[in-house]
Amino acid sequence: MSARTLPLLFLNLGGEMLYILDQRLRAQSIPGDKARKDEWTDVDRKRVMNDIIATMFNKKFMEELFKPQDLYSKKALRTVYDRLAHASIMRLNQASMDKLYDLMTMAFKYQVLLCPRPRDILLVTFNHLDAIKDFISDSPGILNQVDETFRRLIETYNCLSDGEFQLIRQTLLIFFQDMHIRVSIFLKDKVQNSNGRFVLPISGPVPWGTEVPGLIRIFNHKGVEVKRAEFTTAGNYVTPQREGSFELYGDRVLKLGTNMYSVTRPVETHMSGSSKNLASQAKENIAPNPLAKEELNFLARLLGGLDIQKPAGGETGFRLNLFTTDEEEEHAAQTRPEELSYKVINIEATEEPGRREELSRILGEMEVAEPRPASAEKGEDLLALMDGL
């Protein structure tokens, strides 16, 4: 697995989260002069977006994020976005947070699958950051934070080889491989099957730097072309006119990662049959995962820099519903299997004499670090530190 994957995963999922929240906040906003105290206004929407983006691109947070490290589990990463989504006056019920995370992950999974070449994952990331900058165009301080992350991305990833980007893409696909949530937008556009699996196109532009398939060249031992043969293809391929820009400003050319919610339409998520089966199987194994403690400490390094904005004074926060009605949200919360996204795969290695006893002893000694002050050093339980921010 690539140790450079986590920043790309976090930023792209974060971009999708902001697309969804912006669309839902706009849909539920009421003109300021007509809104009741418990209703959303456009001022509230901008405040929520600013708070979340400022938290997401916090300098200390980004420094931790860009350090080479393995990906976190789905459950650990979900914890990060749960904290991010509540970094402002907005509050989401469990069912709405589940739906938000489902939409985020399936959208980015589709983008990774469709990338013409592994390096284009960086262009997808740039598309997300370009859109995020539009959200906070009137907040120069936060805009500077995003630009700083932009420069860090360029410095870190522009120099990587194609092989390293292939490893990053493979790491992302492994992360997403068991997630098959059906999304109404994808179902209506016929890019997703009823079982939650995506339909990949066999036509369109080929990757930059490659040729349209249909020609075979044969060379002799001196490297001189001696023969050509043509063959027909099932798809209709075209050559891209230019490569997308990998600079701070420029035309990305690639449209993957742009805001698909800019056209208002309802977005629903549904569990596929395979996901339901995974969830039901997970319920059968209720024994706690012994690696969960280590995972929390591992996650702590990432969360240490998060500066969570808490409602000032007596504010309790506005509730955002990602469903059409409260009844739909309540029904989703009751019917969604608790372990849907957190299936644990047990791998049994070849057992050696005394191996089981030794493993049990090691796992039994694992402890979660006690909560410590916010000034604690890297490697301590920063989950506890986040609560103190």
Is the predicted pLDDT of residue 277 greater than 80, yes or no?
Answer: no
**pLDDT above 90: percentage of residues in the chain:** 42
pLDDT at 230: 92
Rounded-to-integer distance, Cα 190 and Cα 378, Å:
46
pLDDT digits (tens, 9 = 90+) for 288-337: 444 444 555 555 555 554 555 555 554 555 566 565 655 565 665 556 65
- Report the predicted TM-score, pTM, of the whole model to 2 decimal places: 0.72
Instruction: Please give the pLDDT value at position 352.
Output: 44
Whole-angstrom Cα distance, residue 106 to residue 123?
A: 18
In terms of average pLDDT, the best of 5-19, 27-41, 91-105, 300-314 is 5-19
Tell which wins on pLDDT, 236 or 31.
236
- Chain-centroid distance, C-alpha 98: 13
Residue 173 phi, psi dihedral angles, 5° rounding: -65, -35
| CA pair distance 218, 203, nearest whole angstrom | 26
pLDDT reported for residue 175: 94
CB atoms under 10 Å from CB of 278, counted, come to 21
Pair of tokens at residue 296: 């929390």
Specify whether the backbone of 260 is left (phi greater than 0), alpha (psi in -120 to 50) or beta.
alpha
- Taking alpha carbons only, the member of 301, 267, 313 closest to residue 72 is 301
pLDDT mean across residues, the chain: 76
Helical ranges in the chain per DSSP H: 6-28, 42-56, 59-65, 74-85, 94-114, 120-135, 140-157, 162-176, 184-188, 273-284, 292-303, 326-335, 355-365, 382-388
Q: Where are the domains of the chain?
A: 5-204+245-265+293-346
Per-residue model confidence as pLDDT tens digits over 141-200: 999 999 999 999 999 999 999 999 999 999 999 999 989 999 888 999 899 999 999 998
